[in-house]
Amino acid sequence: MRRLGDILVEQGVLTADQMESAFSGKPREMMLGDWLVRQKLLSVAELGHALAEQFEVPYIDIDPANVNPQIARLVPEDFARSHQAAAIDICGKTMTLAMVAPDDIETIAEVELMTGYQIQPAVAMAEDVSALVGRIYDDRAVARQTIVDMKLVELQQTALEDDDPTNAILAAEQEDAPVVRLVQAILSGAVDAGASDVHLEPLKPEMRVRYRVDGELQQVMTIPNHIENSVISRIKVMADMDTTENRRPQDGHLNVFDGGKRVGFRVSGIPTVDGQKLVLRLLDEGGKTFQLENIGLTPRDHATLREIIDKPHGMFVVTGPTGSGKSTTLYAALQYLNRDDRNIVTVEDPVEFRLAGINQVQSDNEFGMGFANALKFIMRQDPDVIMVGEIRDSETATTAIQAALTGHLMISTLHTNDAVGAVQRLSDLGVDNFKIAGSLLGSVAQRLLRCVCENCKRAVPANEKLLDAIDPDGTVDRNSKFYKGDGCKKCLGSGFAGRIPIFEIMPITPEITMAIEAGVPHSKLHDLAIDAGMVELPRAGLEQALAGRTSIEEVYFKTSGDRRSSESSRNAAKRRDSDTDAA
């Protein structure tokens, strides 16, 4: 067999001097090809083609999405992992076997024996084979197989009941095992996929299971309707919910252990016309670190936020839609404020994460512990810092403002589109403008943008129409480079992997305080905030796009609505002002 180094030199990929220099520095335990790739002297594709010539077999760049799982599972998982070999195709009586070592005659013979096919070996990279095996045998694939197992159990149960009705109890006990495996596979699959939520939706003809990954819903499987009640009941039992109640909404909480770590799920169930719909929110306590410096704040925003919450009393609010990362920001602020000389109390619905050294109260309206009532009781507990999960109604807003005005630092969330909108929202809830002006320290609006996949990102010219919409003043060079992901195996073709937050922080200056007290329109308050140094969400997103962390399309679609609403409010206010002047 020819040596790999000689082949690379003959192909003109490397010079003899480069090969000699690389070989002399190679660690003894590392393969030459892997070392050359690590040293960036060789691409993975170039290595693959060189190995193909060395072993005289084809090279295959495996795309797991294009491999039939039924074919791949013809080779047992343990064997595929230990021998670094995976079946990827069948043509007639021949099976193509992707192998890291395609000259391994024993492995080829064993696969021929266990499958009955004649093997055509092909060379593939070790990480590609591992990725394929991992995807084929992941928990979602196990879940699909479990559905088949449950159907078989159902058929066996029918046969047993026909033979002897007393065997029905035994058959029902046997049926539990597949249900348990199916639910465990769904939950573990969500953890492995990095999902934030799991949706189980009772549609016809099959229940749909979807994961929300990086803010986007993705369907992962369907469950036949004859099984869905068993699945729903199993989750309800785990979450300590009433399995006999199907007409009222319910909430619960369950824990699973995945890979040695404890992962919590907040469960919410509502009745629909087709059955019970469950949504499970992942609460990965082991994977969360709540530190201000680690939540994605730019140095500018980090300094501004610290300046706001370092003040001894007043109100600070975080705004944004559901799933925009508000809770993470609140918890990071609490951790920053957490000291031995401070009494910090929270009231939450629900308590998503446990924070050491902080007194957390679960809101419960049935026992008179809604947000407003809980706040009244907390005020008698000598608190220094109070956190309310959300200001939803007039009573909570009034009580929270009162707490901020009486020497406490109050932190909470509101549902508004932008930071300036927090003022209008509090006013809509019945709080007087002079009280808002006297208590508000600052407000933050935030969004989560998907990050461009680092494995397949490439530079692209600016989309001028989108750039004009985001940056109408032309402050950004139209020749600037932006980035997008082409879609690859690591990001499953989406072009995105992970998310990054952007922030819009409105500090309260004396001018803004006077404007709030005077009840000025949203547009004028917005202009004052810009003059005070507030960076709007579209601009904050544009900064992340210029840095190559996200795409300009992502910025536009996640923030353009905010800009349109902001501009329409501003234009409406200008029209009102013009009408007043004319009158």
Residue 238: pLDDT band with limits 50, 70, 90: very high
Residues forming beta bridges with residue 216, ordered by sequence position = 213
Q: What is the pTM of this model?
A: 0.67
Residues forming beta bridges with residue 98, ordered by sequence position = 86, 122
Residue 564: pLDDT band with limits 50, 70, 90: very low
CA distance 397 to 391: 6
pLDDT of residue 366: 73
For the domain covering 174-283, report its CATH number: 3.30.450.90
Quote the mean pLDDT of the chain. 83
Summarize pLDDT for 419-478 with one digit per residue, the tens. Answer: 999 999 999 999 999 999 999 999 999 999 999 988 888 888 888 888 888 888 888 888
Residue 4: pLDDT band with limits 50, 70, 90: confident
108 or 162, which is more confident: 108
CA distance 300 to 306: 10
Summarize pLDDT for 246-283 with one digit per residue, the tens. Answer: 889 998 989 888 766 788 899 999 999 988 999 999 88
Percent of the chain with pLDDT over 90: 38
CA distance 503 to 267: 29
Q: Which CATH number, 3.20.20.70, 3.30.300.160, 3.40.50.970, 3.20.20.60, labels domain 4-137?
A: 3.30.300.160
Distance set, CA 4 to CA 99, 384, 420, 427 (Å): 17, 69, 64, 74
What are the backbone dihedrals phi and psi of residue 107, each rounded to the nearest 5 degrees, phi first? -60, -45
Residue 235, amino acid: I
CA distance 124 to 356: 48
Least confident of 230-239, 353-362, 556-565: 556-565
pLDDT of residue 1: 72
**Is the pLDDT assigned to residue 360 strictly greater than 80?**
yes
Residue 172: pLDDT band with limits 50, 70, 90: very low
**Is the pLDDT assigned to residue 571 strictly greater than 50?**
no
391 or 16, which is more confident: 391
Residue 489: pLDDT band with limits 50, 70, 90: low
pLDDT of residue 575: 42
Determine the average pLDDT of the residues in 96-118. Answer: 90
- Check for a shared fold between 174-283 and 299-448+500-569: no
Residue 123: pLDDT band with limits 50, 70, 90: very high
Summarize pLDDT for 531-545 with one digit per residue, the tens. Answer: 999 999 999 999 999
Least confident of 180-184, 314-318, 357-361, 568-572: 568-572
pLDDT of residue 318: 95
For the domain covering 299-448+500-569, report its CATH number: 3.40.50.300
Summarize pLDDT for 280-323 with one digit per residue, the tens. Answer: 998 865 556 688 888 888 999 999 999 999 999 999 999 988 88
Q: Which two tokens stand for residue 321?
A: 């839609």
Domain ranges of the chain: 4-137, 174-283, 299-448+500-569
pLDDT of residue 153: 53
> Which DSSP string do the residues of 369-388 spell out, in sequence order?
BSHHHHHHHHGGG--SEEEE
Residue 157: pLDDT band with limits 50, 70, 90: low
